[in-house]
Structure 1
């Protein structure tokens, strides 16, 4: 006599299979930690550079300075942002690809493409918007704007990956909103949002999904 089949167990198994096929679940927590460390280093370097150029409170002087001053500093800030994005993205791809390879999945399957575009569009729009803020003299709102658009991008992408991304997105939105109240502390909030929040998220992901597998 065949054993009775548990309908609830079958439904749970089907749901698990559907989630695995519609969500990218191979994100690495170490990629978040690495991206956070890169962001902290970038914030520190940016603060040091502006301090050497404009003295103590370098960013405040830049924010309150002339249009010519902002334009002359723009290439450095854009270059710094590009380096941070490339290094953080490279670290994220490296650790995620390593975990994806061990799970037998592709790093560029249809789910990953949907995840990429759901983040890319808000980030590109946000970047262009923040550039206009800077050029029009609202430099103090650039970092809050970056954090807010990044948080929205994470929330938009959360439907294609693990739910913990929502927590990171909400954290970025909260930090971004608080940063609007203290524009003179832009680099501090940049370090908190893109640095510490990423590190905390990465450690949470690693302890929850990867630590046991690494120990084995």
Structure 2
């Protein structure tokens, strides 16, 4: 029996693993997903209470209201969105940087830059598109649009990172399309997609790749793909 060091199959497997790591950013932290989900849930609650305090029917009235009512609410909604995005990015940076150090990797590597670009293009496009919907009187389609564009961004980025991102993206798209049929439930779908979806994904990823004893399983999983 040949030693492992001389086994051609073992050598090919090792080369494939090295190539996989050089082309993909594999140090995403599941805890960053959990943190982003918690931020999204808190943001949805803050938005709900704000709209309830300013409009008799809350979110429903904002969707059906006049352009003047939507314009009056826009500064607060943009501020809330900016704070949520900022906090989610800080959480993601903290936990992902911690994992890259643990894995002996560099955070802002070539694969990480490609991943960021693949995410940014659909997200920026979707954000501007949804802003135009809000200002143009189609406020009911804003949250479905955000979910769909975010799901497309995750699908676009999945080729540069862990394959599980693809399933999160498909989940977001499915929720967005369903929300289109039930626009009055927009805040609930927002919490489901950006909140519970991220938390569930993050816990799965943490248990699969980051918990003690999971490193060997994760390496075999990546190589098998």
Please tell me the TM-score bracket, short chain as reference.
Answer: over 0.9
Superposed counterparts of 1:13-162, under 5 Å = 13-55=14-56, 57-162=57-162
Q: How far apart in 1 are the matches of 2:3 and 2:105?
A: 34
Q: How far apart in 1 are the matches of 2:142 and 2:181?
A: 13
Structure 1 residues 60 and 101: CA distance shift in structure 2, 3 A: same
Whether the 8 Å CA contact 2:133–2:141 is kept in 1: the answer is yes
Q: How far apart in 2 are the matches of 1:211 and 1:130?
A: 38
Deviation at 1:14, TM superposition (A): 1.0
- Aligned-pair Cα RMSD in Å: 1.7
Deviation at 1:214, TM superposition (A): 8.8
Instruction: Indicate the SS of the match to 1:167.
Output: helix
Instruction: Indicate the SS of the match to 2:212.
Output: helix
Deviation at 1:213, TM superposition (A): 5.0
Q: How far apart in 1 are the matches of 2:202 and 2:138?
A: 32
Instruction: Indicate the SS of the match to 1:212.
Output: coil
Whether the 8 Å CA contact 2:179–2:186 is kept in 1: the answer is yes
Task: Give TM-score, length-normalised by structure 1.
Answer: 0.95
Q: How far apart in 1 are the matches of 2:183 and 2:189?
A: 9
Deviation at 1:6, TM superposition (A): 2.4
The equivalent of 2:179 in structure 1 is 179
The equivalent of 1:201 in structure 2 is 201
Q: How far apart in 2 are the matches of 1:94 and 1:191?
A: 23
Whether 1:169 and 2:169 are equivalent positions in the alignment is: yes
Q: How many residues align?
A: 214
Structure 1 residues 27 and 70: CA distance shift in structure 2, 3 A: same
Unaligned 5+ runs, structure 1: none
Deviation at 1:12, TM superposition (A): 1.3
Any idea what the Cα deviations from partners look like across 1:14-43, whole Å, max 9, x if unmatched?
A: 111100111111110000000000000000
Deviation at 1:102, TM superposition (A): 1.3
Q: How far apart in 2 are the matches of 1:184 and 1:137?
A: 15
Q: How far apart in 2 are the matches of 1:179 and 1:199?
A: 20
Whether the 8 Å CA contact 2:123–2:153 is kept in 1: the answer is yes
Deviation at 1:101, TM superposition (A): 1.0
Q: How far apart in 2 are the matches of 1:3 and 1:89?
A: 46
